[in-house]
Amino acid sequence: MGGIVTAVCRSATHTFSKSTQDSIRLLTGLGIEGDAHLGDTVKHRSRVARDPSQPNLRQVHLIHAELLDELQTAGFAVSVGQIGENVTTRGVDLLGLPSGTRLHLGNTAVVEVTGLRNPCAQLDHFQPGLMAAVLGRDEHGRLIRKAGVMGIVLAGGEVRPGDPIRVELPPEPHRPLGPV
């Protein structure tokens, strides 16, 4: 089970969108070099306001390119990096992965998936209706968050578009992803 990295992005400031890069460097236990969310404690402003000592379970934001395809088909003008992701993937069912899955990106980098991105109202400030478009309901009426997954860096390294992704599932029993 694997896929490919289609784009990598970062922003040194707390902007909604991130700029595409030729490569990004993942730093073990910290996140992405030069990104505003780099650190072992939480960096998302709303979470810092609640408790700045929380561990940073959101060091890396990954989105599946298939979501961008879906949004574009629905009429949204969205491209890589625009909704805040660091790594855009193709061919990996990110939302279906269990908690603790390890994603091997390129030659050395490893990201452990910690949970789902909880979409926020900033999406609607970017494009009206976008928040509703990244939420859905399953057959039982449960909320589905489609805005990607978050993770922590277990092993650092350089990551570039075109790099392969190898998926390493955790031991069973698997725990489904929840928002982080």
pTM for this prediction: 0.95
Sheet holding 31-32, edge to edge: 31-32, 24-27, 157-159
Q: Give the pLDDT score at 175.
A: 96
Q: Give the pLDDT score at 45.
A: 76
Q: Is the pLDDT of residue 176 over 90?
A: yes
Q: Give the pLDDT score at 1.
A: 63
Q: Is the pLDDT of residue 98 over 70?
A: yes
Please give the mean pLDDT across all residues of the chain.
Answer: 95
Q: Mean pLDDT across the stretch 117-141?
A: 93
Q: Report the topology of domain 2-168.
A: M1 Pyruvate Kinase; Domain 3 (2.40.33)
Q: Mean pLDDT across the stretch 86-110?
A: 97
Q: Give the pLDDT score at 151.
A: 98
Q: Give the pLDDT score at 107.
A: 95
Asked whether the CA dihedral 118, 123, 128, 133 is positive or negative, the reply is negative
Going from N- to C-terminal start, the domains of the chain cover 2-168
Buried b (16+ CB within 10 A) or exposed e, 120-150: eeebeebbeebbebbeeeeeeeeeebbbbbb
